[in-house]
């Protein structure tokens, strides 16, 4: 297994080094030293470029020239950005529910767009069939050791940029970010640092796995935090909870949107509710963060946000 070794120097790095930012105003309000890892600064708007970029760069180095991804969200965008940087062909298969805006953006990035199926599962089945037919590489949004290795670079950077934290806070969807961050933390000697894993109540697949003692489907997703909408977490994400101090924190949709507002006001950055959930896990003052002074918050970002969307969520949820 090479998943825990540092990336080989021969593999091109497609993501950007992001800032580790502080907010005196938020620190004063919350009585902590918050360190924000600004993944919203990635060209595609989220951390996804780290992992998908590493996966695609490794496979391209092995001669792969065609890639297929079935995510209409930040993973699809990251795949399109990385494909453009690598000069390889990327097809994104989207369900009919995807918006014209997402399709247009993917086209602008040079990706081929296919629309197939009423729901994501059908688009995903088509993506896998395309790979089987054509020999193209399937790009998962979160479940691949190469993706985790790429995400781990976030912690390597944070360790160079700032102090050792007393806790790390992030959001969990399918668990790829969490696995990568835990790999990075182990590598930096942070194995004793608790990981606060934030989810919204309507997308709590990690909490469900921790309660059941194995990954289980939550049946349905009902949350404004669309990028956390995985029915079941990666097996490896659940496994990590058995060997690291992972503390699950659930927040409401309204709290997640308030987290977006806090990040906009405190750091002048726009993020999806999927990311606001991590901020909300700090402001909710949970037991899980008791005694933590320096807290590293992964600002995972997300491209599906603008001022209108934020205003709409605030109106809808009374934030
Ligand atoms: C993908 C994504 C997540 C969840 O990441 P997982 O690796 O699926 O846990 C959270 N926030 C944003 C903005 C994302 O794009």
Q: What is the pLDDT of residues 38-82, one digit of tens each?
A: 999 999 999 999 999 999 999 999 999 999 999 879 999 999 999
Percent of the chain surpassing pLDDT 70: 97
Alpha carbon distance 139, 78 (integer Å):
10
Per-residue pLDDT reduced to its tens digit, 81-98: 999 999 999 999 998 888
CB proximity list for 39: less than 8 A, separation 6 or greater: 18, 46, 47, 50, 154, 298, 299, 300, 301
Give the per-residue pLDDT at 8: 53
Looking at the whole model, is its pTM more than 0.85? Answer: yes
Secondary structure (3-state) at 129: helix
What is the atom index within ligand 1 of the atom nearest the CA of 172? 9
Q: Is the CB of 248 under 6 A from ligand 1?
A: no
Q: Residue length, the chain?
A: 319
Report the chain's mean pLDDT, rounded to a whole number: 94
Q: Among 46, 49, 148, 168, which is best to mutate for testing ligand 1, by the most ligand atoms less than 8 A from CB?
A: 46
Secondary structure (3-state) at 20: strand
Question: For residue 6, how many other CB atoms are within 10 A of its CB?
Answer: 11
CB proximity list for 125: less than 8 A, separation 6 or greater: 117
Q: How many whole angstroms from 270 Cα to the centroid of ligand 1?
A: 15
Q: Is the CB of 140 under 6 A from ligand 1?
A: no
Secondary structure (3-state) at 12: coil
Give the per-residue pLDDT at 285: 79
For residue 6, is pLDDT > 90?
A: no
Alpha carbon distance 240, 244 (integer Å):
6
Give the per-residue pLDDT at 99: 84
């Amino acid at each position: 297994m090479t998943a825990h070794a540092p990336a080989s120097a021969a593999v091109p790095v497609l993501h950007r080094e992001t800032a580790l930012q502080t907010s005196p105003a938020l620190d004063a309000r919350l009585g902590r030293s918050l360190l924000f890892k600004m993944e919203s600064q990635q060209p595609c708007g989220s951390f996804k470029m780290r992992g998908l970029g590493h996966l695609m760069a490794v496979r391209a180095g092995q001669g792969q020239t065609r890639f297929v991804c079935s995510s209409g969200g930040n993973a699809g965008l990251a795949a399109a950005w990385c494909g453009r940087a690598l000069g390889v062909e990327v097809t994104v298969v989207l369900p009919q529910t995807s918006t014209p805006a997402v399709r247009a953006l993917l086209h602008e990035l040079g990706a081929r767009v296919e629309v197939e199926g009423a729901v994501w599962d059908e688009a995903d089945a088509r993506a896998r069939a395309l790979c089987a037919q054509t020999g193209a590489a399937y790009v998962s949004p979160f479940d691949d050791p190469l993706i985790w290795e790429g995400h781990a670079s976030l912690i390597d950077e944070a360790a160079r940029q700032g102090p050792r934290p007393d806790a790390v806070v992030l959001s969990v969807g399918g668990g790829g970010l969490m696995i990568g961050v835990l790999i990075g933390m182990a590598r930096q000697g942070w194995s004793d640092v608790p990981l606060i894993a934030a989810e919204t109540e309507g997308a709590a697949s990690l909490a469900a796995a921790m309660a059941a003692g194995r990954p289980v489907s939550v049946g349905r997703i009902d949350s404004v935090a669309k990028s956390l909408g995985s029915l079941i977490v990666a097996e490896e994400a659940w496994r990590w909870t058995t060997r690291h101090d992972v503390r699950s924190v659930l927040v409401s949709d309204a709290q997640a949107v308030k987290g977006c507002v806090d990040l906009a006001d405190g750091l002048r950055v726009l993020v999806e509710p999927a990311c606001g959930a991590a901020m909300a896990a700090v402001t909710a003052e949970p037991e899980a963060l008791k005694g933590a002074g320096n807290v590293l918050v992964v600002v995972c970002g997300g491209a599906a946000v603008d001022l209108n969307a934020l205003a709409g969520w605030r109106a809808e949820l009374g934030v």
